[in-house]
Amino acid sequence: MNYIQEMRQLIGSHTLMTVGCGIILEKDGQILLQHRKDNDVWGIPGGVMEPGETFVEAAIRETWEETGLKAEDLILFGLYSGNEGYAEYQNGDKIFSVQIIFHTEKFSGELIQDALESQEHRFFSRDNLPHLNSHQERFILDWVKNSNLPVVK
């Protein structure tokens, strides 16, 4: 059982504060996005930090689990909080997530297409993005705009 499952047993569907860590993986000016299985949106690989992990460890672990890629030399891209961090899942669970987003162009491994949470991974150019996850749209669009690092919102 992971941390989120343990907390849900205690608080039910009430709002749970989480720390999400993700990585913008860039190759030849394109961003790697994953097509989620649970809804028809695209976003960057990442997920919730487990107790005891560093931000970097969580981002690297989640990216590995979701893509099969080992990310290296992470640079802080941005810190994201505010009302955009609220979400309610189909099962009624509510969260407020603070997002720590990294960037790298250095990664290795074999890109997997079908993973536990995603059905496809693909690189996209800045001017040809798919339907984005609304909770990740702001940092993906900051990447599109070549925002200076790090972005704090």
Are 63 and 117 spatial neighbours (Cβ–Cβ below 8 Å)? no
Indicate which residue of 53, 84, 120, 137 is catalytic.
Answer: 120
**Is 120 considered catalytic here?**
yes
Are 32 and 21 spatial neighbours (Cβ–Cβ below 8 Å)? no
Give the DSSP per-residue string, 86-140. Answer: EEE-TTS-EEEEEEEEEEESEEEEPPPSS-SSEEEEEEE-TT---SB-TTTHHHH
Whether a cis peptide bond, with omega within 30° of 0, leads into 130 is no
- How far apart (Å, rounded) are the C-alpha atoms in residues 51 and 152? 23
Are 44 and 124 spatial neighbours (Cβ–Cβ below 8 Å)? no
Contacts of 1 (CB under 8 A, 6+ apart): none
Tell me the catalytic residues: 120
